[in-house]
Structure 1
Amino acid sequence: MDERLGASALRPVAELNYLNATNVARYRAIMRFIYLEYQRLKYWLKPEEIYEGVQAWGVLEGYTLDYCLSDLEQLKNWGNLASRHDGGRALSLEEYMRKKSQYLLTPYSIEIERMLEALEKVKGYGGSLETTYFDTIAECVHFIRERADQMQEGEALHNWEKLYLAFKTMHENAADFIASIHSIQAEEMMATDGFLAMKENLVNYLQHFVKSLQRSAYKIEGQLLKVTPHLRDLYLENVTADELRKPRIEEGKSAEELLAELQQGWRNLTRWFIGDDTGVSELTLLEKATKETIAKVVRSAVRLQERRRGGVSRRGDLEMIARRFAQLDRLEDAHKLAAYVFGLFETRHLQGEDRRETERADASTWEEPPNIRLIRTRSRRRAVRGASEPMRSHNAKREAYREQVQAMLAEERHFVEKMLGYGSVQISKLAPLNGKERMRLLQWIGRCTGTASRAFVTADGYKVAVLVPEPYETGLLRCEDGELAMPNYRIQVMKGEEAHG
């Protein structure tokens, strides 16, 4: 589908002129009255009816019928209203002399007034994290898999409208809810003590959504992967045919345009749940954003609790403890009371290697000789400049680390060459593996299943790909230390030129 903007998408919208015109109050009142009458199924209106309806609201001072006629003609010129000649009989000489017309809202104006009506009700971001939409989407995708080749007339369109409405509503509500958590109003509310009362319910709500997301949404991902291109095209063609069967008075979209829109909608659905070559799925991003929101809520609650505890006066407790100390006669009793009240003082941990004189288990710490450590001062005063210290050499450590890395790369290269000999093999067909090989194979599977392409490239240029088995198809991974039951993945290892070929 060509997603480039056409000339119609870039034209100036003259229908919006009445929202910022000089006499905006008069135009808004006329358009709102005609829109309310349109909702009452009264479409063509006379100027006298419009004038009387606007005057009944009492919002315009000094407004006359001549002004109303002038405003109606201006709205007609902007494309907000359509007019026709009123063929009714004139009841007075004034009506006979005046050009009689009736006015009707244009489709653009209806959508503009609907938008304005919705904007007047906006209070913040709103939104919600509803999990029922996932069940609806899963049900519709399952219906496509089972009935795409044998749907009755109208079933495909009904299923598509139900599927895409649930998907669109779920996505918009989730995006709005997450945005509301990060808004300025939410930041201010999280800094108040009243937030602690709702913190528990909010965290439970977010956690419940994450659990449902992990349980239901990934099932949808699996079902979408099983919808073959042939099945998808057949289903979308049935939806297009059902849409074209609807009787329309006005000229509608062609079959090619409808099919292109449906294909784009299907791509949006699969990109949201599965992802594509350009990045991870929106599902993954939503799960990450929800978890980050939970962490943010918990951090805000912890800060509030710490601030509340910090503001509590402990003068009475300290006075009581002071009286207890004053009542003691012996220093040892004072030491014991201090141990109960204050506990151990903060300790300092010194890093280093202890040189022990004996390996006796019963030797006391106090019998060991002290280890002298140089402690730097924390004073802000500049220390006296002393002799310069020689530069320390870390060549030995770097060489040891280099040898360790080279050994790991050699082990990985040996395992890659071993798997390259198989070419393409299932888990159950592998020869017994040792512990390191098993961990490396499981790491490969984790890296592949975490990407949309189910593959990655090693440091030496070999491509490792994993084919996901059918549900409930398991195999035994034989190892030297036992057997591991797991999904019977198929592992493919290819050289660089084979992977690109």
Structure 2
Amino acid sequence: MDKPMDYRAFRSVPEMKYVNADNFVRYRTIMRFFYQEYKRLRYWMKPEDIYAGVAGDEELSGYTLDLCVSDLEQLEQWGNLASRHDGGRASTLDEYMKKKMQYLMRPYSIEIERLLETLEKVTGYGGSLESTLFDSIAEKLFAIRRMDWDSSPGAALELWTSLYEAFKKLHENAADYIASLQTARAEEMMVAESFLVFKDRLTNYLQNFVQALQRSAYKIEGNLERINAGVRDLFLDRVAAEDLDKPRMEEAPSKESLLAELEQGWSNLQRWFLGDGLAPSELTLLERSTKDAIARIVRSVIRMQERKRSGVSRKKELDYLGRWFAGLEKLEDAHQLAGLAFGLFQTRHLQGEDLRTSDRADQSMWDEVPTLRNLRSRSRKRGAKQDSDPIPDNEERKQREREAYMRRQAEEWEAIRALVGSGTLRISDLGRIDSRTRIRLLQWIGRCNSAPKHTFVTPEGVRIAMKNAKTEVRTILRAVDGELHLPDYEFEFALTDAAREAAATAEMKAEARTDAGAVGAAGVDGAAGTEGGSSS
């Protein structure tokens, strides 16, 4: 049972007034300067030092020392600052009586500024799924079982601190990360095409966390169940004693209240991993939420892929399926293929007279006499019936396009093969060229400039590299359709290993065919000579 809420601890917080006051810019600037100096271990400061630290801010134009002193006094009234009289360096009685003050930041203000600094960095839920925290929690619980905390002074407090901090970090970070997957921004990301690149990393991240959770959960649950009430009470009592032994400047809490707080923390830890018997544990809910997130990601990716496939022509697939149906000899096989290809069609209930010709219960529906019923269109628009146009035969056009493409590829290869033999090419060495060569050179320049290493490989297996991509020397490329001023690029051509092997194989096959032809010709001549000899 949770302890009842103590309403006596509630009070108004005047220390928060400076955040929303009329002159909040001045007050927050002063408090942020105090907080930054506090982190530098500088505590007591004079008004002159504070004014020198905040006067350079652009938001405080026209700010004076008198206004700074007034703001410091107001902050002291609200309880944000503490003050003391600074009379150590006074040389006259008048200077001492002017009440030079020094100011110190109070603990409430330190926590408020720390909170505000954290809130300024919040851009979303954040969080993370750190699977190593499961191993850390299991290790600490095993150490409690082995009584390792009883070996040296302070070990029990250190063990409890590291255990509970790992538990809090696991719970808070996991809750924040799972919540970030439920936001509208996450929903927008999951329907964008760019999510396909990110989904593998996210899915692997979630799957690795679930695997670590399943691998370490039984260790944690087993250790918690084996720590009986006696060991737990002895350990928590030792933690409370070591915590109270620490020297404190403020009033120390009572041992009873400290033990109650520690028992509540242990109860939270046990309920998170084991549950309370009435509802599933938080660990189970976390695993379920993570698996649901993975399922949502997979469904989003499937929907995107289906949308992309919906615009793709399925002519080849349907043609193949139609040929498959046409090649079947039995109607039963066609029914089975239709069931596998299309599944069950949506049923429609049609009214009609059931004319049964037999009382056999095992008679198939395909053997029944069909009931004819005319269906009329429900469309309000009546139009003349139009015959469907046949699918045009584009084989001749495809053949022409294929031949033209092969000619272009042959011309491309002839142009590249001559360059491969020379090895290098500089634009300034070219004479007057035709428009096709100019277009080809510009394509090479564009592909080399866009490549990370200024190198690309053609479909024919030729590696084209630009040797001087950053040259400042310029030249003129003269073509039949005009002149182009551009840098004097130099290209280097070389065959890839695969292309070189293919060329060698083709050459060997050509030689083999030549040799076979020579042998065949010699055989024919010999046979002719034999016949001539016989006839003679």
Do they superpose with TM above 0.5?
yes
Query: Is the partner of 1:73 in helix, strand or coil?
Result: helix
CA deviations on 1:280-313 (whole Å, 9 max, x unpaired) are: 2111111111111111111111122222223x35
Matches within 5 A, 1:216-227: 216-227=216-227
Q: Letter of the aligned partner of 1:336 in structure 2? A: R
Q: Letter of the aligned partner of 1:211 in structure 2? A: Q
Matches within 5 A, 1:436-475: none
Aligned mates of 2:270, 2:105 — CA distance in 1: 38
- 8 Å CA contact 1:180, 1:186 repeated in 2: yes
Query: Is the partner of 2:164 in helix, strand or coil?
Result: helix
Partner of 2:51: 51
Residue of 368, 371, 386 corresponding to 1:370 = 368
CA deviations on 1:37-87 (whole Å, 9 max, x unpaired) are: 100000001111101100133330111111111111111111111111112
Distance change (3 Å), C-alpha of 1:284 and 1:32? same
Partner of 2:155: 155
Query: Is the partner of 1:104 in helix, strand or coil?
Result: strand
Aligned mates of 1:210, 1:378 — CA distance in 2: 57
For residue 152 of structure 1, report the CA deviation from its aligned partner.
2.5
1:336 has 2:323 as partner: yes
Aligned mates of 2:301, 2:276 — CA distance in 1: 38
Q: Which runs of 5+ in 2 are unaligned?
A: 328-336, 380-536
| Structure with greater contact order relative to length (CA < 8 Å, sep ≥ 6) | 1
Partner of 2:71: 71
Distance change (3 Å), C-alpha of 1:336 and 1:65? same
Distance change (3 Å), C-alpha of 1:218 and 1:373? farther
Q: Which runs of 5+ in 1 are unaligned?
A: 326-332, 382-501
Matches within 5 A, 1:58-457: 58-90=58-90, 96=96, 98-147=98-147, 150-310=150-310, 312=311, 314=313, 336=323, 344=338, 346=342, 348=345, 369-370=367-368
Aligned mates of 1:374, 1:268 — CA distance in 2: 72
Aligned mates of 1:138, 1:160 — CA distance in 2: 13
Larger radius of gyration: 2
Distance change (3 Å), C-alpha of 1:36 and 1:375? farther
- 8 Å CA contact 1:355, 1:371 repeated in 2: no
Q: Letter of the aligned partner of 1:292 in structure 2? A: D
Aligned mates of 1:228, 1:256 — CA distance in 2: 21
Q: Quote the sequence identity (%).
A: 53
Aligned mates of 1:149, 1:35 — CA distance in 2: 37
CA deviations on 1:352-398 (whole Å, 9 max, x unpaired) are: 99989799xxx9x89x73266799989879xxxxxxxxxxxxxxxxx
Distance change (3 Å), C-alpha of 1:109 and 1:380? farther
Distance change (3 Å), C-alpha of 1:334 and 1:114? closer
Q: Letter of the aligned partner of 1:128 in structure 2? A: S
Distance change (3 Å), C-alpha of 1:377 and 1:259? farther
Aligned mates of 1:58, 1:109 — CA distance in 2: 24
Deviates further, 60-69 or 369-378: 369-378
For residue 95 of structure 1, report the CA deviation from its aligned partner.
5.2
Aligned mates of 2:94, 2:304 — CA distance in 1: 74
Distance change (3 Å), C-alpha of 1:223 and 1:375? farther
For residue 279 of structure 1, report the CA deviation from its aligned partner.
1.9
Aligned mates of 1:377, 1:158 — CA distance in 2: 83
Distance change (3 Å), C-alpha of 1:122 and 1:357? same
- 8 Å CA contact 1:44, 1:104 repeated in 2: yes
Query: Is the partner of 2:56 in helix, strand or coil?
Result: helix
Distance change (3 Å), C-alpha of 1:90 and 1:373? farther
CA deviations on 1:417-445 (whole Å, 9 max, x unpaired) are: xxxxxxxxxxxxxxxxxxxxxxxxxxxxx
Aligned mates of 2:374, 2:256 — CA distance in 1: 78
For residue 262 of structure 1, report the CA deviation from its aligned partner.
0.4
Aligned mates of 1:268, 1:120 — CA distance in 2: 30
Aligned mates of 1:171, 1:181 — CA distance in 2: 16
Structure 2 length as normaliser, TM-score?
A: 0.61
Partner of 1:423: none
- 8 Å CA contact 1:148, 1:234 repeated in 2: no
Aligned mates of 1:308, 1:246 — CA distance in 2: 66
Query: Is the partner of 2:253 in helix, strand or coil?
Result: coil
What is the root-mean-square deviation in Å for CA atoms of aligned residues?
Answer: 3.7
Query: Is the partner of 1:309 in helix, strand or coil?
Result: helix
Aligned mates of 1:356, 1:280 — CA distance in 2: 57
Aligned mates of 2:26, 2:154 — CA distance in 1: 46
Query: Is the partner of 1:74 in helix, strand or coil?
Result: helix
Query: Is the partner of 1:252 in helix, strand or coil?
Result: coil
Distance change (3 Å), C-alpha of 1:62 and 1:158? same
Aligned mates of 1:136, 1:313 — CA distance in 2: 51
Aligned mates of 1:156, 1:141 — CA distance in 2: 12
Aligned mates of 2:264, 2:322 — CA distance in 1: 77
Query: Is the partner of 1:59 in helix, strand or coil?
Result: helix
Distance change (3 Å), C-alpha of 1:128 and 1:374? farther
Distance change (3 Å), C-alpha of 1:152 and 1:375? farther
Partner of 1:498: none
Query: Is the partner of 2:153 in helix, strand or coil?
Result: coil
- 8 Å CA contact 1:149, 1:231 repeated in 2: no
